[in-house]
Amino acid sequence: MKLIDGKALAANLRGEIAAGVARLKEERGVVPGLAVILVGENPASVSYVTAKEKACAAAGISSREIRLPETASERELLECIERQNDDPAIHGILVQLPLPKGFDEKKVIDAISPEKDVDGFTPVNVGRMMIGEPCFLPCTPHGIIKLIEFAGMDLRGRHAVVIGRSNIVGKPVAALLARRETNATVTLCHTGTPSIARFTREADVVIVAAGRPGTLTGDMLKPGAVVIDVGVNRVADATSARGYRLVGDADFASCAKVASAITPVPGGVGPMTITMLLWNTLESARNKSLICPIDARG
């Protein structure tokens, strides 16, 4: 069984992105700028935002951190997004989700200009992705496709099973897998699917994004299948100084006995999500319009 090392792939890609950022600065005097907006102080969100800012700095991308208190009004947040939309030094806008109670996430995402929507969450980008137009691909699904390629798997003609149908992971990754250039046959499972194992046992690759530890176990896999574990779950662990440890949605021990390759948690999908955010920010700075060919980092 092979571990699919998301950290190693992310490090390679971040090196390429940093080189692209340096070239853009040298040739056109443009420094990619990412506005990172955080409302409130949810500890997980604070640590995600910190990680994104560090990654930006390492790649030479300028990040602008904007923190609003939990008591901020939705109008203040929308005005803040509007200012970033209008600022030519900003090429990407990220609003860290989830937002505190009382904010209408859909309205907030809709306020981001599609041309700066480096998370790929606005309806314009989602729609363009579905019809195969140039767009910002959502970071986690795009990172997953890169990881599968990195694992050496040719998806053409293969059966991919996705567990989870969220707008940020399950649905878009299923759409990317089914694109003509990827050409996998896709089954999308969710809580309404009776006997998920019936499908996963026939899968060449299983992508599990349910947010529940143990959703996928070794007895649900075909021997030699590839497992991409998207889940990030905290489970209590008295032996850890933090009092918890992170686990995925796949039961690693049993899946590792049957799979040919699996992503670890942490160190699999997570580093790729941030990497694809940097990628999209560079693409946005490089292209003055929404035209951003998926594999044209130059």
Active site residues: 52, 96, 119
Token pair belonging to 154: 């040719």
Q: What angle do CA 229, 57, 41 make, to 5 degrees?
A: 65
Instruction: Tell me which residue of 172, 135, 178 sits closest to 156, measured CA to CA.
Output: 178
Contact region with ligand NAP (CB under 6 A), list: 31-39, 104-112, 150-158, 205-213: 205-213
Angle at 171 between CA 38 and CA 225, to 5 degrees: 115
From candidates 21, 94, 147, 210, binder to ligand NAP by CB under 6 A? 210
Instruction: Tell me the site size for ligand NAP, rule CB under 6 A.
Output: 25
Binding to ligand NAP (CB under 6 A) within 50-109 occurs at none
Residue number with CB closer to ligand NAP (80 or 230): 230
233 binds ligand NAP (CB under 6 A): yes
Distance CA 110, CA 59 (A): 28
- The region, left, alpha or beta by phi > 0 then psi within -120 to 50, assigned to residue 53 is alpha
Is residue 165 at the binding interface for ligand NAP, with CB under 6 A as the rule? Answer: yes
CA distance 229 to 144: 9
Q: Does 4 bind ligand NAP (CB under 6 A)?
A: no
Complex with ligand NAP: residue 93 or 169, whichever CB lies closer: 169
Interacting span for ligand NAP (CB under 6 A) from 14-22, 74-82, 186-194, 235-243: 186-194
Binding range to ligand NAP, per CB under 6 A, among 59-67, 73-81, 145-153, 265-273: 265-273
Should residue 168 be labelled a site residue for ligand NAP when binding is judged by CB under 6 A? yes
* Cα 43 → chain centroid: 19
Q: How far apart are CA 45 and CA 98, in angstroms?
A: 8
CA distances from 244 to 169, 185, 221, 269 (A): 25, 37, 28, 20
Per CB under 6 A, the list member of 157, 192, 253, 289 interacting with ligand NAP is: 192
Q: Is 29 in the site for ligand NAP (CB under 6 A)?
A: no
Residues that bind ligand NAP (CB under 6 A): 140, 163-166, 168-170, 189-192, 196, 209-212, 215, 230-233, 269-270, 273
